[in-house]
Chain A
Amino acid sequence: DTGVSQDPRHKITKRGQNVTFRCDPISEHNRLYWYRQTLGQGPEFLTYFQNEAQLEKSRLLSDRFSAERPKGSFSTLEIQRTEQGDSAMYLCASSAIGYTFGSGTRLTVV
C-alpha cells in the first residue's frame, strides 16, 4: 500500500484519558501534516514536520497536544487529559509536491 496509513480508524475514550494516534506517511514524502476536522467543517491545520523537525504548530494545538516524528518516518499525535471538545476526525497528510491524506482517526470523547 503506497498511501498514507492512520491507526486506529476509530477511538472512543473517556474524558480525562490520554490517547495516541499514529500516521505512516508515503515513504518518500519528507513533509507530514496533522489536521483536525469537525463535523461540517473543513480540516484545520494543527502541526507539520519536515523529516523529524517540527516546523510549525497552530494555536489550536494546546499544551495537551504533542506530536512527534522520530527519525522522520511515522508520526504520533498524543492528546493528554482528553476533553469532549477534542472529539473530531484527526487527519494526517504527507507531501512531496502535492498532498496525500490518510483516512483519518475518528476520536469520540465520552
Chain B
Amino acid sequence: QQQVKQSPQSLIVQKGGIPIINCAYENTAFDYFPWYQQFPGKGPALLIAIRPDVSEKKEGRFTISFNKSAKQFSLHIMDSQPGDSATYFCAATLSGNTPLVFGKGTRLSVIA
C-alpha cells in the first residue's frame, strides 16, 4: 500500500517556467511534509517542509501549497533553471523525527 502518491513521474519545462509536482497522502495522522531534491549519485537533500497548520510556505524560489481537506500538497519551483534538473521526492511522517514515507519521485528536466 503506497501511502504517498506522487505525480507526474517526469516533467520537462523551459527555463523560467514553473514546474508543479503533486502529492497525495492517505494517513490523516501525518503532520510533517518535506520535499527533497536528489542529484544522481547523491543522497536526498531537504528543500522545504510544511506542517498542516499552514496552507502555503515559501523559501526562495520554492513554494509548498497544502490542502488538508483534500490530503494533497504540491511543490512549485519559480523561475526554474537548468541547475534545478534533478529528481524531487515528497514525503510525509507522523512527526518531524520519525521514519519518512516517500513518494516515487518526479524527474525534472529544465531546458534552456
Chain A residues in contact with chain B, CB under 8 A? 4, 31, 33, 40-45, 48, 56, 91, 93, 95-104
B101 at the interface (CB under 8 A from A): yes
Q: A18 → chain B, closest Cβ, in Å?
A: 24
* Chain B interface residue count, Cβ-Cβ cutoff 8 angstroms: 22
Given contacts A98-B49, A99-B46, A103-B41, contact A40 B97 (CB under 8 A): no
**Neighbour of A42 across the interface among B45, B97, B105, CB < 8 A:** B105
What residue of chain A has the Cβ atom nearest to residue B49's Cβ? A98
9 A–B contacts from the bound complex (CB under 8 Å): A31-B97, A33-B99, A40-B105, A41-B104, A99-B100, A101-B43, A101-B45, A103-B43, A104-B42
Query: Nearest-CB distance from B48 to chain A (Å)?
Result: 11
Q: How many angstroms between the C-alpha atoms of A4 and B42 in the bound complex?
A: 12
Q: State in angstroms the CA–CA spacing of A31 and B97 once bound together.
A: 8
Contacts of B6 in A (CB 8 A): 42
Q: How far is the CB of A99 from chain B (nearest CB, A)?
A: 6
